[in-house]
Amino acid sequence: IEQLAGERGGSIAFGTGPIAAATIVPEAVNAFLRQFPRVDVRVVEGFPQGLMPRVRDETLDFLIGPRFSNLQVEAGISFRPLFQHHLTVACRVGHPLASARSIAKLVELPWLCFEPRELLAEIFSGLGLLLPRPVIQCESHSAFLKLLAGSDMIGMVPRRILSEEGARGSLREIRVAEVLRGHTVGMFARADTPLPRLAQAMAKALARAGRRLAFSR
């Protein structure tokens, strides 16, 4: 009612994957709050497979996250692409296999990944390799960085992570010959219900931040 009356109160809740959370969400939220300083904002971090039901039942206005090739987007949910992120292989600084030039040289070690385990299996299958054992899937951004920096595990990571403050100086890219395809990050929303005014404003702020990120690359 406050929104319809022209007031700037109200609230918004949206979900975000860890990459969007680290790249475009801070800029977008700050821009949104300059326009709507009295609005309460809730940001929930997770992956599409976990947060999609909360978009469907309207607990969240929308979700910003990656669209994996094996992700089934159910009827009634739309997807709008925002930017691409690219995967690479990484390890701690000083790792004994940091100079490896092929993923085949790394399969005997435990692997750590942000993405669903099925995605790693798909990548290894496409390279004609068996999936490493064990695979540790970590959906916590901070825990992921600490696990990779404090062990001999090999990480399948979005390249953007290596330039973040928590990773610089502790993680390094392993420059393997294999090319790992990236993913499209975008907005999942209910297709049959227009976004409320405040959610539209936040979605536009996120889209602007995503375009700037894509342009800068």
Q: Identify whether the C-beta of residue 91 lies closer than 8 Å to the C-beta of residue 148.
A: yes
In angstroms, the CA 132 to CA 129 distance is 9
Q: Identify whether the C-beta of residue 71 lies closer than 8 Å to the C-beta of residue 17.
A: no
Q: Can you give the pLDDT at residue 159?
A: 80
Of the candidates 126, 129, 94, 91, the one whose C-alpha atom is nearest the C-alpha of residue 110 is: 91
Residues 6+ apart with CB under 8 A from 113: 119, 120, 135, 136, 137, 138, 155, 156, 157
Query: How confident is the model over 14-36, as a mean pLDDT?
Result: 91
Q: Can you give the pLDDT at residue 3?
A: 54
Lowest mean pLDDT among 8-22, 61-75, 125-139, 170-184: 61-75
In angstroms, what CA-CA distances link 91 with 17, 19, 52, 100? 22, 18, 31, 11
For residue 180, the SS3 value is: coil
Q: Does the pLDDT value for residue 85 go beyond 80?
A: no
Share of the chain above pLDDT 70, in %: 91
67 or 40: which carries more pLDDT confidence? 40
* pTM passes above 0.85: no
Q: Can you give the pLDDT at residue 1?
A: 59
Q: Does the pLDDT value for residue 202 go beyond 80?
A: yes
